[in-house]
Structure 1
Amino acid sequence: MRQTLIRLFICLWASILVVACTHSPAVATQAKEQQVQHLFHLIAQRLEVAPLVARSKWNSGGAINDPAREQFILEEVQKQALAIGLNPRFAADFFQSQFDAGKLIQQQLHQEWQQQNQAPFSPAPDLARDVRPVLDALSPQLLTAIKQVEADRCQPYMQRLLQTEASPLAQFNTEVRKIAVRTLQCP
């Protein structure tokens, strides 16, 4: 009886190990895919702010390109990246891609509004009060999210997800999407 119980116990553990070994990669890949989807959602949230920035700059006549502000943010991003163990150069490159994608949206909107002889917007968001706090709140979330996926950039699932049109980034045109995710491409 004791030997039967021992054999049953061994068979049960062997079955558990087989199931765990065959399902773990799928579970791990699914978790990674969810991390990438979360990152895409955060990127989309950041890009959704670009029209607000465009409206504010349209009203003020301010330039779309703001190198001093970008440099300040990139320096802060690099400090924050170091603090969480993320490659600061990768973080800066990622954020520069976000700036570039956002500026493209702004340029496209300004061209459209110019053709339409768009009057100033009322009300237009205030950059310092309404827009920057949203972007500043997204930055640490984006850093954490890119840290989770950086090492897997060359994995097939990552490359597949970067190409999918069903992602949260599908609402943006192809050029904007390509710019926003270019840092995530396999080097």
Structure 2
Amino acid sequence: MLANDALRDYLLTRRSVGLAFLKEPGPDAEQLRTLLTIATRVPDHGKLSPWRLVIYAGDARQDVGDRLAAIVRKRNPAIDEQSLEQERQRFLPAPLTIGVISTARPHPKIPEFEQVLSAGNVAFNIVHAANALGFAADWVTRWFTFDTEAAAMLGARPEEQFVGFVHIGTPTAIIPDRPRPDLESVVSTWTPPENG
């Protein structure tokens, strides 16, 4: 396989773009199909496809926000309007959000953890695919990822778990890179234990 300098340079400079900096346009139908095809080309031991994707676009984005706000208000009737508005804006202004759900189940040969990792790879491949198509993306979790009622409203079935939501759109700003870890602090070379 030949070296791919463009891909290397992309991977060395890839950066998330926060939801507030994503706007129209988003992917069209053909681009979305390509994006989803790329997203699902991930390591998947046993060919289980232990994940599902849920698309939130158009008016559904505001509907999601209204429903999240209703859940929050029900639990805290005294909540202030500014906090409710924050919930209403959860999937705005990005024109597209894709929820990634882990459908990991007990399996005689493939640990559930490995299946969850496959779902995480789908989420990150969505980020890469969005960038490859000229958009920007932000993979987030937030409270509703882990909340049973909110997750069900967003499309998770019983025994399923979101691994996150990827917001996608056209970037409105160039986001400066953040500090990255010093390799010496996170990489080591294994050596046999002295008493092993």
Do both share a fold (TM > 0.5)?
no
**Rg larger in 1 or in 2?**
1
What TM-score do you get using the length of structure 2 for normalisation?
0.21
Higher relative contact order (CA 8 A, sep 6+): 1
Structure with greater strand share of residues: 2
- Judging by fraction of residues, say which structure has more helix: 1
